[in-house]
Structure 1
Amino acid sequence: MNDSFFKKIESKTGVPMTEVFALANAIQHADFKDERQVRRIIQNVGMLANKNVPQHLEDELVKSLVSSGQPVNIADIQRMLGNK
């Protein structure tokens, strides 16, 4: 992909691609049995989606993800936050 493609995404979303790549990297290498890592990822997805994640929802998501221990992707977390 070229820079103009990423620039278009940045201009439409307002999210720098460096942040998207950093989050994707964190998700790819995360230990989904580590509550702190999972919580940090949920908070980052919320920030990138410009969505406030109430503490009770964050706790539920962390509990669900840690108990499954299965890796997820950004789309999975966004779907859990109510973004479609």
Structure 2
Amino acid sequence: MSKDNLFKNIEKKSGVNMQELFKLANSIQGANFKDEKTVRGIIQEVGKLANKKVPKETEDQLVKTITQNPQAIDMNKIAKMIDGKKKK
């Protein structure tokens, strides 16, 4: 399977535009994860990209978690925080 076909399959299944995903990935390289405004912007962009509304409370928790210790960003923990809000 070619790289283009792989990306098209991912787009089809996830609904996420791969060009937008790459653009986001490039924009966060070297980002200051100790800066609240930067982190909020990234969270909002990810929400838009995924076509999901991130509740203010969840955004606040993510910002706090990420800005307090940016070296320890654990994507599984962040995903669980978001999924936990859906189950209520």
**Considering the TM-score relative to the shorter chain, is it more than 0.5?**
yes
Measured after TM superposition, the shift of residue 32 of structure 1 is 0.5
1:25 alignment partner in structure 2: 26
- Which protein has the larger Cα radius of gyration, Structure 1 or Structure 2? 2
- Determine helix, strand or coil for the equivalent of 1:30: coil
Note the residue ranges of structure 1 that are not aligned, 5 or more in a row.
Answer: none
Higher helix share: 2
1:59 alignment partner in structure 2: 60
Q: CA RMSD in A?
A: 2.4
**In structure 1, what is the Cα distance between the partners aligned to 2:80 and 2:13?**
20
Measured after TM superposition, the shift of residue 27 of structure 1 is 3.0
| Cα pair distance change 1:49/1:80, threshold 3 Å | farther
2:5 alignment partner in structure 1: 4
TM score, norm. by length of structure 1: 0.77
Measured after TM superposition, the shift of residue 81 of structure 1 is 1.7
1:15 and 1:48 in contact (8 A); partners too: yes
> What is the identity percentage for the equivalent residue pairs of Structure 1 and Structure 2?
51
TM score, norm. by length of structure 2: 0.74
Measured after TM superposition, the shift of residue 47 of structure 1 is 2.2
